[in-house]
A and B are shown apart, each in its own frame.
Chain A
Amino acid sequence: MRPALAYLARRATGLAAVVGVSSALLGALLLFAPGSPVAEQGLAAWLGGFWRGVFAGDLGPSYRGIPVLDLVGRGAATTLPIVGFALLLSLTGALGIVLGLGDRVAALSRPLRLGLHGLSLVPVFLLGYVALVVFGVPPDGPRRWWAAVFILAVGDGTLSDVILGLDAERRRLVEQDFVHSMRLRGLPLVRRLAPHLALPLAQLLAARLVFLLSGVLVLEMVLGIQGLGLMGYRAAVKADFTLLVAIAVGLTGLVAAVQLGVDALRVAVDPRVRKDSRQTARGSV
């Protein structure tokens, strides 16, 4: 096995362990919940049953009569596109502002910058209420979907963070010697700089993913979107502990998978990491 793959395998194992431990921690918390099956069956037995159900693709019926995994799948099919498009929109907007304006970002007038960052720092639930009350976002249809995407892309500091992170990376890069050299030689910058921006961007977006997931859970309540957030709330209120843990584990797994993707990207684009990983792999044999 190539050392880089061994490194990724180790990372995957570690992240899978994190998911497993998170399910155990949630199960332990549920010991204290009134009416919890965890208290009746014991943590180990309940956890064993839960994971057997996950691997068998059958966690039994949810409070809604629909199988838990089916419900989680339907919720994910609603929530994840919103989160994905919000990340994309945030990134596209930030790229447009940072790369399109270049050094003029810093030169943007102070009120404009303050306004932009101020808007971005508004919590998503407040933006949700503004969308409902001021803009009359309907309870279903594409307008609600795009409103959710837009709010998530902007609110909770997402847009602000992505702009600032991207701009910092851009500035760091343009001060590198090889960039000066490329400029002097008249070489096209964007194609050469893209690989250098890919990793920091991926790290930035992976970090924002957790915020977006928690944001979308709140936003689903406000806009009445039948996604994982609203389901998770109902599961908690209805004491459907299996569904609750399935949603939590699913989201933890998603964050872990994205982190693994960032690791893979790091291995692919950063020779220093490849070298480190090789050394680490040798050391561990």
Chain B
Amino acid sequence: MLHETRRWLLPLGLCLLLPATVAAQAFEYAEDELPFTLNPLHESSMAETRIGELLFEPLWGLGYDGAPEPRLADAYELSPDKKSMTVFLREGLKWSDGTPITAADVEFTVAAYLNPKSDSPDRSRVAFIKKAKAEGESTIKLIFHDPEPEPLQKLSFKILPKHRFESTAVPRKDPFWFKPTSSGPLMVESQDLGTWSLQLNPEAFRKPNIDRVKVREMPDKNQQVSSLGYGYIAAMISVPGQYLAEIERNRHADLVPYQSKSWWYLGMNGKHALLKNVAVRNAVGKALDLDEALALIGEGDRISGPFVPSSKFYNHADSVPLLTPDAMESASLMEGQGLTFEDGTWMHKGEPVRLRLFYRAGLGEQGQTVALNLQSQLRRAGFDAADPVAMDKSVWNDKVFAQRDFDLVLDSWSFDKNENVYDLFHSKGAQNFIAYSNRDVDSLLDKAIAETDPAAKVAYLREVHRQLAIDQPYVFLWSLRSYTALRREVESAWVSPFYYFSQFADWKLLPKK
């Protein structure tokens, strides 16, 4: 019987032992989580933004030099008062189903983004447009709320095909989410539970060198690293710090640093009985050794305000220093607010100062590591910090954004080229979930939004930075140094900040060695 068993065990064993010898010809890349919706209106993750870049074109996209380059648009005229512009589309543009791309599509897209019933998370990106009006097949007039000295970089939202929708109120379950009509280099070929397969869009005006792409969900980073090494995937979007050395040793893949305009923060609830007090917020900040937390998850640049250090808005002045741990000062600030330190715990009105810490599940292992470290540091400093709880975006939106039922939150913000922090810190900002309010900051943000002089705008936002560093509605943590990994068969790859696949049409995939 043993002999019988060997007859099928042997081929099975060989099947498992043989390394990969054949690689897929398609460009295959891994995402921690599969993009869910392909409708740009409802993009809510970077994975969805990335696949959207392959499927849809904006009016203007990011060029190699970082400046806007025309995509669907061909030319434009900005009115002297900068409150309106006329955009001329390229001739002969077509959707993947052969329907012409017209100004009516642009008009529809703006209306759909702005329609509250569409419930687009990116509504604020288009909110600077008051109205879009088609003036012929390929001419569209955009009217702005305020003067827009540099409107091109704001016109990077993806254009939708009007003929696929019944009205500008686009529900999330509209079938477009899985059966889109494309304008980008690729179009959807098929999907299953773990992959999206894309193929060449024959109507694309930017014809890609790579005509097939597969996006695969791999929740485990070990599997991503291994698959990259064996050549099953050609790109690993984000490489956490602990895997950098392993990929560096790999002879078939390269690490590519890319700058993301994103930073981490520890938000404090402005409605909290103690955290609404600037001194207590500063005491919390001074109790933390942020370098210790950063060292646990990789490399990055500490920040003192709401911009990445390379941003023109970042205030590098000596008067805006990075937060440094200072237990004595932290204790002094707490005592100054009438709190007492008893048996190693800060007490307020006879009760321990209890802090609940939530973090967004999308931060992954890094988020968990930092949250646990911060909890540990807070406990050491005498705060009764509860075990951190991870929350997915839907729960986060409900508990943190809607109910404001939190004390501390750990999360990160990612920005496009505009780095608009108005919604985060203006007292009327749509994303000011920490209930931060400072008249000076409101005034500065209002001025920055309305300002047509770029230099003056920079000055206003640097002052916003300084004010926020003092008020500390957030403990500003760091901007992580991001790395992606690409197989060496991938050539001419240019990974841009925030927009990963902006220039994918130029990428090449050589036969595997």
Instruction: Across the interface, name the chain A residue whose C-beta is closest to B19.
Output: A136
B219 touches A132 (CB 8 A): no
A96-B5, A139-B232 are contacts. A35–B223 as well, Cβ < 8 Å?
Answer: no
A51 located at the interface, meaning its Cβ lies under 8 Å from any Cβ of chain B in the complex? no
Task: Please measure, in the bound complex, the distance between the C-alpha atom of A83 and the C-alpha atom of B9, giving whole angstroms.
Answer: 18
B177 touches A99 (CB 8 A): no
B394 touches A224 (CB 8 A): no
Instruction: Across the interface, name the chain B residue whose C-beta is closest to A138.
Output: B232
Identify B16's interface contact among A99, A139, A150, CB under 8 A: A150
A136 touches B394 (CB 8 A): no
B178 touches A224 (CB 8 A): no
Instruction: Tally inter-chain residue pairs, CB-CB below 8 A.
Output: 107
Binds B, one of A112-120, A203-211, A233-241, A260-268: A233-241
Instruction: Across the interface, name the chain B residue whose C-beta is closest to A223.
Output: B223
Q: Across the interface, which residues of A come within 8 angstroms of B17, CB to CB?
A: 135
12 additional A-B residue pairs with CB within 8 Å, beyond A34-B395, A100-B1, A222-B222:
A64-B36, A75-B193, A96-B1, A97-B2, A136-B230, A139-B223, A140-B194, A146-B16, A224-B217, A233-B219, A237-B390, A237-B392
Q: Mark A51-78, 1 if CB is under 8 A from B, else 0.
A: 0000000000101110000000011001
Q: Across the interface, which residues of B come within 8 angstroms of A92, CB to CB?
A: 5
**A contact residues, range:** 35 or more
Task: Please measure, in the bound complex, the distance between the C-alpha atom of A13 and the C-alpha atom of B387, giving whole angstroms.
Answer: 41
- Could you name 19 residue pairs across A and B whose Cβ atoms are closer than 8 Å? A64-B36, A65-B36, A78-B193, A93-B9, A100-B1, A132-B227, A136-B19, A140-B194, A140-B195, A142-B15, A146-B15, A147-B16, A150-B12, A222-B220, A226-B192, A226-B193, A226-B217, A234-B33, A239-B395
Q: Mark A132-152, 1 if CB is under 8 A from B, else 0.
A: 110111111011001100100
B222 touches A34 (CB 8 A): no
Q: How far is the CB of B361 from chain A (nearest CB, A)?
A: 5
Task: Please measure, in the bound complex, the distance between the C-alpha atom of A137 and the C-alpha atom of B218, giving whole angstroms.
Answer: 13
Q: Which residues of B contact A (CB under 8 A)?
A: 1-2, 4-5, 9, 12, 15-17, 19-20, 30, 33, 36-37, 172-173, 177-178, 192-195, 216-220, 222-223, 226-227, 229-230, 232-233, 361, 389-392, 394-395, 398-399
A35-B394, A35-B395, A74-B193 are contacts. A136–B20 as well, Cβ < 8 Å?
Answer: yes
Instruction: Across the interface, name the chain B residue whose C-beta is closest to A92.
Output: B5
Q: Across the interface, which residues of B come within 8 angstroms of A75, CB to CB?
A: 193
Q: Across the interface, which residues of B come within 8 angstroms of A234, CB to CB?
A: 33
Q: Across the interface, which residues of A come within 8 angstroms of B399, CB to CB?
A: 34-35
Q: Across the interface, which residues of B come within 8 angstroms of A95, CB to CB?
A: 1
Q: Across the interface, which residues of A come within 8 angstroms of B395, CB to CB?
A: 34-35, 239
The CB with the most chain B CB atoms within 10 A, among A97, A142, A150, A224, is that of: A224
Q: Across the interface, which residues of A come within 8 angstroms of B218, CB to CB?
A: 139, 224
Q: Across the interface, which residues of B come within 8 angstroms of A147, CB to CB?
A: 16
